[in-house]
Structure 1
Amino acid sequence: MSLAKRYVLRLFISLKYVTANVVDRQSGRVVTTASTAERPLRDGLECGRACNAKAAAAVGEVLAMRLKVDGLAREPIHADAAKEVAKKGFKNQTKVWAILNALRNHGVNLRIEDDGDHRPHV
């Protein structure tokens, strides 16, 4: 297997929770994760019945901090934005982009594979 895309971002978005994992494709294991299901994040966000883009951005920030602590922030982390939006549904595209932008804004070497046409105009 080619290790050109060793680390990949996987997003899980449900009505109640937002989870972001970085997977090491060499070992098949999750190396870093952040989720609104975690008590500190959940308590700080007051998600209630549904998590919004603000909660998704917080997940991205926490994931970025954990990547830095683990020494992985400079490694290329690959994300397929169009595929994530397609899988999560159009209504969740703002959450997907909130996570991606938070990772980028906090110094993660995020490589987004997208033609650029799916970014929400905010």
Structure 2
Amino acid sequence: MTVLKRYVLRLFMSLKYIMANVVYRNNGQIIATASTVEHTLKSALECGRSCNAKAAAVVGEVLAMRLEVEVLEQGQGRGIRVDVNKEVEKKGLKNRTKVWAIVNALKSNGVKLMLDNDDDNGASRPSY
């Protein structure tokens, strides 16, 4: 069975900033975005020299709220594809907790995620 992978979660991380986008794969359009660069998040988080997993969780929560608004407006209830292992590999092991914080925040706020290559044994998943 082929699973449609229309919406993809893209993460961008540096020492100072975290950005999460949901992209429509057919045309590359960004559906929703959240970032610590935004003035409201930046002033509330006080990241300073670096952002931590708490900041990543807040970015995930804000993204989930924005996705709910977009899904209600467009009337689409499809899931968002996330390849967690690939994101961890790209971002490095030091950012593993940030990646999982965003994924868990999206899940806990009711966003339907399709996790690709996710191990059920929890080897790559941090324990909270």
Q: TM-score range by the shorter chain?
A: over 0.9
1:115 is the counterpart of 2:126: no
Structure 2 distance, partners of 1:54, 1:99, is 9
2:6 equivalent in structure 1: 6
Aligned letter for 1:7? Y
- Structure 1: gaps spanning 5 or more residues: none
Structure 2 distance, partners of 1:18, 1:74, is 26
Query: Any conservation in 2 of the 1:63–1:103 contact (CA below 8 Å)?
Result: yes
Give the aligned length.
121
1:55 is the counterpart of 2:55: yes
Query: Any conservation in 2 of the 1:52–1:95 contact (CA below 8 Å)?
Result: yes
Query: Any conservation in 2 of the 1:74–1:108 contact (CA below 8 Å)?
Result: no
- Three-state SS of the structure 2 residue aligned to 1:20 is strand
Larger Rg: 2
Q: What TM-score, normalized to structure 2? A: 0.89
CA RMSD in angstroms, aligned pairs only: 1.6
Structure 2 distance, partners of 1:63, 1:26, is 21
Kindly provide the CA deviation profile for residues 60-101 of structure 1, in whole angstroms up to 9, marking residues without a partner as x: 000000000111683200100000000000000000000000
Structure 1 distance, partners of 2:113, 2:77, is 9
Percent of matched pairs sharing the same residue: 60
Structure 1 distance, partners of 2:18, 2:52, is 9
Give the C-alpha shift of residue 3 in structure 1. 7.5
Give every structure 1 segment of 4 or more consecutive aligned residues whose post-TM-superposition deviation is greater than 4 Å. Answer: none
Query: Any conservation in 2 of the 1:9–1:20 contact (CA below 8 Å)?
Result: yes
Structure 2 distance, partners of 1:104, 1:3, is 19
Q: What TM-score, normalized to structure 1? A: 0.94
